[in-house]
Amino acid sequence: MQDDPLKPGYNFDAHLVAGLTPIIEGDELDFTIDRPNGMKGYILNLTSKGEGTLFSGDQAINVGPGDLLLFPPTAAHYYHRKADSVCWFHRWVYFRPRAFWHDWLSWQDEQHGVYITRGLDQTTVHHLERLFIDIEYTAKSDEPYRSDLSINLLEQLLLRCKSLQPDVVSKPLDPRVIEAMNYMTQNLNQDFTMEMVASHICLSPSRLGHLFREEMSMTITQWRDDQRISRAKQLLVTTNYSVNQIGRIVGYTDPLYFSRVFKRKSGVSPKRYREQIT
Ligand code: FCB
């Protein structure tokens, strides 16, 4: 049994182990980390200096500073210093996740079961590296609550990593979509048509429809109904207006249609909603 996690034979039988592996050409750590069956837990790996090579043959990928890897338990580990790089220093955290982390542990790009995020800028790398270091030192300290604290820091690190994923990064909305939303919010009680919204922002209705769906991942009608229903909910609990009046105030001339949409979106009728809350 090995008590150094940097050497083969260490038993990773803990919930969290973190370290820095400083591989220098010809040094005692200059070997291939080869775990064909993966590990029991996840590994997060950040290159801090030099370059490494992941996988072999024509699957080989080189990683350097700014590249981040996440190995789920089933992914095979096969990595070493890149042949022509004098060193490969990488920081890593081994951990057994809590169930609610599930969503944070799948990233956009994956190769042979390993998630990869490349080309992070220096400031981001610096920030992430700080967390890796804090996790390692907190876990190894004799502070009270060191285990909870290091898990808490790991949660921050995982959230930061997930936030960097291109499919999570929030990009600013197209100003025309914002304008369409403003128009609809201001005219919520009116029976406006899509043509009216589109002409307000000088787009064709079909172009607006596409753009809106692309940016908001829902149709304009869904968005408008969501707004109307949330306004109706507010009025149901803060005023004494009748259900029909509220339907009209939020833009539904047909009370039956209002009740139908309300029920579809909230699971209960407007009347029941009011009773439940008040
Ligand atoms: C060390 C490796 C490191 C990581 C941990 C779990 O031995 O150097 O890359 O795989 O094990």
What is the distance in A from the centroid of ligand 1 to the CA of 38? 12
Residue 38: the pLDDT is: 94
pTM: 0.67
Question: Could you give the domains of the chain?
Answer: 16-163 (2.60.120.280), 175-277 (1.10.10.60)
Residue range 218-247, pLDDT digits in tens: 999 999 999 999 999 999 999 999 999 999
Instruction: Could you list the beta-strand ranges (E) of 55-99.
Output: 61-63, 68-71, 77-81, 87-95
Residue range 78-88, pLDDT digits in tens: 999 999 999 99
Atom of ligand 1 nearest to the CA of 71: 10
Residue range 161-174, pLDDT digits in tens: 999 998 887 778 89
Q: How far is CA 272 from the centre of its chain?
A: 36
Residue range 18-37, pLDDT digits in tens: 999 999 999 999 999 999 99
Q: Are 71 and 12 in contact (CB under 8 A)?
A: no
What is the distance in A from the centroid of ligand 1 to the CA of 20? 8
What is the distance in A from the centroid of ligand 1 to the CA of 210? 47
DSSP state of 33: E
Mean pLDDT of 3-32: 93
Sequence-separated (6 or more) residues with CB below 8 Å from residue 47: 63, 64, 65, 66, 67, 88, 89, 90
What is the distance in A from the centroid of ligand 1 to the CA of 73? 13
Pocket lining: 18 vs ligand 1, CB cutoff 6 Å: no
Q: How far is CA 173 from the centre of its chain?
A: 18
Query: What torsion, rounded to 10 degrees, do the Cα atoms 183, 186, 188, 194 define?
Result: -10
Q: Are 77 and 43 in contact (CB under 8 A)?
A: yes
Residue range 34-65, pLDDT digits in tens: 999 999 999 999 999 999 999 999 999 999 99
Residue 62: the pLDDT is: 97
CA gap 42, 23 in Å, rounded? 21
CA gap 135, 144 in Å, rounded? 14
Atom of ligand 1 nearest to the CA of 79: 9
Pocket lining: 43 vs ligand 1, CB cutoff 6 Å: yes
Pocket lining: 6 vs ligand 1, CB cutoff 6 Å: yes
Residue 167: the pLDDT is: 83
CA gap 234, 229 in Å, rounded? 9
Q: Which two tokens stand for residue 109?
A: 């790009």
Atom of ligand 1 nearest to the CA of 23: 8
- Backbone φ/ψ region at 216: left (φ over 0), alpha (ψ -120 to 50), beta: alpha
CA-closest residue to ligand 1 atom 7:
6
Mean pLDDT of 106-117: 95
Percent of the chain with pLDDT over 90: 88
Q: Are 70 and 42 in contact (CB under 8 A)?
A: yes
Q: How far is CA 13 from the centre of its chain?
A: 28
Percent of the chain with pLDDT over 70: 100
For ligand 1, mutation pick of 2, 3, 6 (most atoms within 8 Å of CB): 6
pLDDT band for position 191 (cuts 50, 70, 90): confident
Residue 3: the pLDDT is: 87
Mean pLDDT of 144-151: 96
Residue 278: the pLDDT is: 65
Nearest 5°: phi and psi at 138?
Answer: -65, -45
Instruction: Could you list the beta-strand ranges (E) of 52-150.
Output: 52-54, 61-63, 68-71, 77-81, 87-95, 110-111, 114-117
Residue 11: the pLDDT is: 86
Pocket lining: 92 vs ligand 1, CB cutoff 6 Å: yes
Atom of ligand 1 nearest to the CA of 35: 10
Residue 265: the pLDDT is: 92
Atom of ligand 1 nearest to the CA of 39: 6
Pocket lining: 33 vs ligand 1, CB cutoff 6 Å: yes
- 3-class SS at 268? coil
CA atoms within 13 A on the CB side of 186: 8
Pocket lining: 94 vs ligand 1, CB cutoff 6 Å: yes
What is the distance in A from the centroid of ligand 1 to the CA of 8? 9
Pocket lining: 88 vs ligand 1, CB cutoff 6 Å: no
